[in-house]
Amino acid sequence: MAPWRRLSVGRMTRLHHFQWIVICFGVLLGLANHSSGYFYTDSSAEVSDERFCFCQLQGTIDDCSCNIDTVDYYNNVKIYPRLQSLLVKDFFRYYKVHLNKECPFWVDDSKCAMRFCHVEHCEEKDIPPGLKGDASSYHKYIKEVQTLTNCNEDLDVELGYLNTSISDKAHKEFQRWADYDEAQDNFCILDDHEPGAQYVDLLLNPERYTGYRGESARRIWSSIYLENCFQAHSVKKKNAFSAMIPYQDMARNEVCLEHRVFYRMISGLHSSINIHLSANYLLSEKGSFGFVSPTGVWGPNMEEFERRFSPHMTDNEGSHWLRNLYFAYLVELRALAKAAPYLRNEEYFTGLEKDDREVKTAVKDLLTVIEGFPAHFNETAMFSGGTSSIKLKHEFREKFMNISKIMDCVGCDKCRLWGKLQVQGMGTALKILFSGKFDDKIDPGIGTRLKQPPPSLRLKRGEIVALFNAFGRLSTSIHELEEFRQRMR
C-alpha cells in the first residue's frame, strides 16, 4: 500500500515512533531537531554488520507476557496460513467503504495522479447476492423455510394482530436512539451505510507501494501523531518543552499503561504499513520484455526496509518500532479470542451456501487456534482506576475516532482504502476489548460463564471484515519480517 506511509523519509522518519504523550506545542517546537540525518550515506563495516541483526528481535514484548519467538512461531506456522486461505473468500474480500468523503480538517487538492493509486472497482455482477440484499438465495437453505408449507395454517387472528398505531416518525426516532447508543461503543467511524459507499474487491487492490509521497503524505502521519496528544499529567518533566519522549524513555518517565498502549498500537500499525511497502515495492513499470506492464513489477526492496528500520537510519529506534508491531498484533489477537463465542455464531452470509459453510468452518478452526495461544494480552489491567479511568477511556476513544477521520484526508485512493480498513479493524478490536459488551457473562443461577453471547450483542458485517483483514495485515507483516531476516542472512 505504501503511499501515505512513506514518512520514514526526512523528518517524519523520527516522528514515526516518538511518543506524543505531552504538550503538543512542545512537540511542534521539537520537530526541527528531527529533520536531518536519515538518508543512507555510509557503507562502513559497522553498518554492514548491524544490517544482519537489527530485525532479529528477541525477548519479552513490553506490556505483554509472551516472547517474540513465541509469536513468530505461532503466527508463521499456525495463524498466517489459515488467514491466507480465509481472506480470499467472498465474505472477507468484498469490503464496503466510502472513498469519496471530503477531508474534514483541511482542503486537500493533492490527489495522487499515479496510476497505481487508483482503486479498481468490482463489477456489480461479481458481488455475491447476499451482500447486495438479495435474500432469494438465502431462503433456499434456511431450515425453517424449507419445512414451511402453508403460511395460513393454524392462524389465530387475535394473536396475529399487530398494533401499528406508532407512527413512522416515532419508529425513526427509536432507530436514531438505538444507533446513538450503539455508536457510543465505537472507536472509529463506520461509513459503509452512507450514500456513496461502494463495495471494493480487496484482492483486486492489494496493499503495496503506489508512489504517493511528498507533503500530502507527510501531513497524514504528522496529524496522526501530533494532533492526538495526551495531556502530560502522567509524565514527570522538568519543563513544558521536554515534549517528545522517545520510546525507551517511557518507563523512566512513568507514562501510564493506557497511553503506552495507544502509542504502541499506532506505532505498530505504522511499522506494519512500512513493512508492506518494503515487501511490495514497485521495482519496475516494465515487464520482462521491456514493455510497460499494466500491473507493474512488484517485489521486496531490502534497501527500503533497512532505510526505514535499521539503527543508523532511525537513531536506534527501528527495533522498538518493530516490537510495537508485535504489540499491536497481540492486542488484535486478544480481541479475536475474546469475541470468539460471538464470531462462531455468525453466519458469514453471502447467499452461496457451499462457500458460506466453508467460511464458517474455517473461522471456527482459526478461532480455536487463536484461543489456544498461551499468553494473551491482558486488557483488564487498563481503565481500572475508577472515575478517572472513565474519563481516560473517553479520551482514548475520541483520539482514535479522530485518527479514523484523518484517513479521509489521504490523497491516494488505494492508500485511503487500506488505511480506513486497518484503522477500522483496530477500532473494532478496541470496541471488543473495552466496550464491556464482550466481557464474560455470568449466569446468576449457577455462577458460571454463559456459553452463548447475549442476543443484544452484535457486530456489523463491515466491522467483522475489517477486523479479520486488519489482523491479516499484521500477521502478514510478521511473516514478511521473517522473510527479510532470511534474505539478510
Integer Cα distance of 377 and 331 in angstroms:
6
Q: How far is CA 349 from CA 21, 84, 91, 194, 345, in A?
A: 43, 19, 7, 21, 11
Could you tell me where the beta strands, DSSP code E, fall in 386-481? none
**64 included as an active-site residue:** no
C-alpha torsion 203→189→423→358, nearest 10: -40
pLDDT computed for residue 227 by the predictor: 77
Integer Cα distance of 16 and 262 in angstroms:
14
pLDDT computed for residue 451 by the predictor: 56
- Residues in binding site for FAD: 208, 210, 221, 267, 270, 308
Q: How many CB atoms lie within 10 A of CB 180?
A: 9
pLDDT computed for residue 116 by the predictor: 83
pLDDT computed for residue 235 by the predictor: 39
C-alpha cell, 267:
506505532
Q: Give the three-state DSSP class for 48.
A: helix
pLDDT computed for residue 420 by the predictor: 96
pLDDT computed for residue 56 by the predictor: 83
Cβ pair 98, 192 in contact under 8 A: yes
**412 included as an active-site residue:** yes
Q: Give the three-state DSSP class for 51.
A: coil
Q: Which helix (H) or strand (E) holds 147?
A: helix 143-147
Q: Which of 414, 441, 383, 456 is nearest to 187 (CA)?
A: 383
List b or e across 361-381, with b for residues whose CB sees 16 or more CB atoms inside 10 angstroms: ebbeebbeebeebeebbebee
Q: Which of 352, 343, 328 is nearest to 461 (CA)?
A: 343
pLDDT computed for residue 217 by the predictor: 82
Q: How many CB atoms lie within 10 A of CB 450?
A: 12
Q: At what angle do helices 318-338 and 302-309 cross, to 10 degrees?
A: 90
DSSP-derived pairing of the beta strands 198-201 and 94-97: antiparallel
Integer Cα distance of 234 and 322 in angstroms:
25
pLDDT computed for residue 65 by the predictor: 84
Phi, psi of 343 (to 5 degrees): -65, -30
Task: List the catalytic residue out of 112, 117, 409, 415.
Answer: 415
Average pLDDT, the chain: 77
pLDDT < 50 stretches in the chain: 2-15, 17-48, 134-152, 155, 232-253, 443-448
pLDDT computed for residue 417 by the predictor: 96
Backbone Cα Rg of the chain: 24
C-alpha cell, 265:
498500537
Tell me the domain boundaries of the chain: 53-123+171-439+457-488
- Is the pTM above the cut of 0.85? no
What lies within 8 Å, CB to CB, of 200 at 6+ separation is 94, 95, 96, 97, 99, 119, 121, 122, 417
C-alpha cell, 167:
407512527
Q: Tens of pLDDT along 428-443?
A: 999 999 988 888 765 4
